[in-house]
Structure 1
Amino acid sequence: MRSLHHFPPWRPARGLPAALLCLGALVASVAAAQGGVQVPTVAAQVQSVGSGFELDGVIEPVKQSIISAQAGGRIGSMLVKAGDKVKAGQLLATIDDREALTGVERSQAQVAQAQAELRNAQSQFDRTRDLQSKGFVSAAALDTADSQLKSAKAGRDQAGAGAKQSALAQGFTRVSAPFDGWVLQAQAEAGDLAVPGKPLLTIYAPEPLRVVVQVPVSRSAAARSAGVIEVAVPGASGGLQWVRPASLSSMPTADPVSQTIEWRLELSPEAGRALLPGQQVRVRFASGQQERMVLPQAAILRRGELTAVYVVSGTQFVLKAIRLGADQGQAGVAVLAGLTAGDRVALDPVKAGLAGAQPAAAQ
């Protein structure tokens, strides 16, 4: 008879049940994490907030000068560069002064000649006066000598004025700083040709600073009627704080191209200490109070041009696009459209976007 082979009963490999249990636990934990995320919410409430609008402004130095050449010639040396700190009276650049120096020498020679002619005229006048007193010459001869003396004095004064003018022109070949500050820009280099009126350097004083903001003509009335005008500057803790300008003014005319009116808000030294010229800041024109829906900044999702929040719908979250208004500081940011009073909004939009996320129970 053909013998039958008996096979041992099947048994799982050693260690396999434990691996399956671990995998199942991992899958269960992931599913629980995705389906059981509890996201806290906040109710959208209407609050009384300050009305107004915000605009971008630019920091500018109040004291800024464009140093131009006052004499013509080749720039011999440029002793500073952009970013250098300078003191009032410090030499910044020199211009070839050979022509000016020649003018100074010519003027000095003319002064010497005029003084010699004056001495000769004075001696002639004295001799003629003595002779006229003794009756040897006429009174007309004395008058002639007197006229020559006065002409010699005028010639001396004219030569002296010319010498001063030549010395002044020679001094224009040495460009110095008008005040303490920083070099903002260098518009010329050594070897360039300098002509009167050509800009060489731009210098500014670090204090005081001001904010220049362009207000649209359509909002000029609202800006003038604003009860509070504030500027957002870096605070001591690293965030932003709103401060009021020390003084403000607006230009009496509008720009014909941009249709804006320039406002200048001068900052106190304390407010402008952490700011730099060219830096952008926010300017807020606030007037009165109005009812606005306000949400915390943390609840708002910003992705490119999308501004939205997750709103509770049943037991899930639905993404809704919103339009924001002015920043209300610690109170949050105003919502102009997209929500209704009472809507519950997720405080963590990242977690609310996970699959299966649910609103946490109200405390």
Structure 2
Amino acid sequence: MFRWSHGLPRIALALMLGAPPGLGHSAGTADSAGGLATWTVAPATAQALASHDGTIEAVRQTLVSAQVAGAVVALPVKAGDRVKAGQLLARLDARAAEQQAGAAAAQVEAARAAQQVATLEMQRQRQLFASRFISQAALDRAEAQFKTATAQAQAQLAAAQAARTESGYFIVRAPYDAVVSELSVMPGDMAMPGHALLTLFDPAALRVAVAVPESAAAALRRQLASPVAVEIAGQRITAPRWEVLPAADPVTHTVTVRIDLPAGSAAAPGGFARAWLPLAAQAGAAGRVFVPSRALVQRAELKGVYVIAPDGRALLRQVRTGPAGADQTEVLAGLAAGERIALDPQAAARRP
């Protein structure tokens, strides 16, 4: 049986303030009560942080679309697949384009044949002119025909290369290593230029976008050197870099803060994240206490600590916690400075 102390927990409705790993400094003293190791809670001085809700987004996200119109005949990927750069994503019906490319290749052969005839004719005309059997005008006409045939052959060759290039547009490949986040077409659909076929994002480069009041932007820009913490799916991450965008939203009058996530973060674009952005340093803020993380006990969805009562009994009390470091956790509600808590919850639970 666990005994919860009466009159608690005390729920705080104020702004959640806390410290990420490495910023909070636990204040208090360790002592003992009847052989039980305890900790006396005391106010702490720490870098104050404000909690902001944010959205995970990809630094590099691409809407892949077709450059030509055509029916989708193959779609070998699905949402959630990881693809490599150059991997086939979609194939469009290219029969008409391939026929045009074949016709252009045939026209190139015809132009080259005409160029060869014009070359031989010019050579004969030059020999006749050297023997004074034809006039200069006849030689000039032969040379002009040769130049015309050469230009036509070059034009047909360029047209054939363009046709081959266009036929390659019917095969859509991945521009970089990515994850397929969404498919916008299915096999048989008609793809049109500019219309998205699928969406890709680079999982190695993610960030959190947070909207903060415009009035707070100037103070944040002065503290870009301070580290920030991001909480994603219950996991706390220290961000390596963050920035405050220079422009404000004219509708909401907020400024976007972008926080880069380290590589390998278990996150996906569109997900929820909570960021702890630095405020001015506050000393001994009311109700701000830190306790050793090992003193906390988890009971289902509730967290608590064993508080040592004046008569020496260990009472399990529910608390509301904030940011947690490697060995310290801030208690937002449920504890006050001067109270003693047990450092070993298991030993406190066995205490009569």
Q: What TM-score does the superposition give when structure 1 sets the normalisation length?
A: 0.68
**Is residue 2:216 matched to residue 1:219?**
yes
Deviation at 1:172, TM superposition (A): 0.6
- Check conservation: 1:84, 1:183, Cα contact below 8 A: yes
**Is residue 2:191 matched to residue 1:194?**
yes
Deviation at 1:185, TM superposition (A): 0.5
**Is residue 2:247 matched to residue 1:250?**
no
Could you give the per-residue CA deviations for residues 70-125 of structure 1, whole angstroms, max 9, x where no partner exists?
11111112111101122222211111112211210121121011111101111111
Q: Distance in 1 between matches of 2:235 and 2:209?
A: 19
**Is residue 2:144 matched to residue 1:152?**
no
Report SS of the residue matched to 2:44. Answer: strand
Q: Distance in 2 between matches of 1:36 and 1:208?
A: 49
Could you give the per-residue CA deviations for residues 146-200 of structure 1, whole angstroms, max 9, x where no partner exists?
1111111111111111111111111111111122222110011111111111110
Q: Distance in 1 between matches of 2:244 and 2:124?
A: 73
Using the aligned pairs only, state the percent identity.
34
Equivalences for residues 204-215 of structure 1 within 5 A: 204-215=201-212
Q: Provide the residue aligned with 2:281 in structure 1.
A: 289
- Check conservation: 2:321, 2:329, Cα contact below 8 A: no
Cα distance change of structure 1 residues 130 and 168 upon mapping to structure 2, 3 Å threshold: same
Q: Provide the residue aligned with 2:230 in structure 1.
A: 232
Q: Distance in 2 between matches of 1:79 and 1:281?
A: 33
Alignment counterpart, residue 174 of structure 1, candidates 163, 171, 174: 171
**Is residue 2:70 matched to residue 1:56?**
no
Q: Distance in 2 between matches of 1:326 and 1:220?
A: 24
Number of residue pairs matched by the alignment: 286
- Check conservation: 1:49, 1:328, Cα contact below 8 A: no
Q: Provide the residue aligned with 1:119 in structure 2.
A: 116
Aligned amino acid, residue 139 of structure 1: Q
Aligned amino acid, residue 61 of structure 1: A
| Range that drifts further, 277-286 or 126-135 | 277-286
Q: Distance in 2 between matches of 1:52 and 1:230?
A: 9
Q: Provide the residue aligned with 1:317 in structure 2.
A: none
Report SS of the residue matched to 1:108. Answer: helix
Report SS of the residue matched to 1:83. Answer: coil
**Is residue 2:72 matched to residue 1:78?**
no
Q: Distance in 1 between matches of 2:91 and 2:237?
A: 46
Give the gaps of 5 or more residues in structure 1.
1-32, 300-311, 313-323, 348-363
- Quick check: which has more Rg, 1 or 2? 1
Q: Provide the residue aligned with 2:94 in structure 1.
A: 97
Cα distance change of structure 1 residues 202 and 117 upon mapping to structure 2, 3 Å threshold: same
Deviation at 1:143, TM superposition (A): 1.6
- Check conservation: 2:289, 2:337, Cα contact below 8 A: no
Could you give the per-residue CA deviations for residues 197-242 of structure 1, whole angstroms, max 9, x where no partner exists?
11101112221222222222121112112251313356xxx96434
Q: Distance in 2 between matches of 1:42 and 1:150?
A: 97
Q: Distance in 1 between matches of 2:216 and 2:80?
A: 38
The RMSD of aligned alpha carbons is 3.8
Deviation at 1:133, TM superposition (A): 0.8
Q: What TM-score does the superposition give when structure 2 sets the normalisation length?
A: 0.70
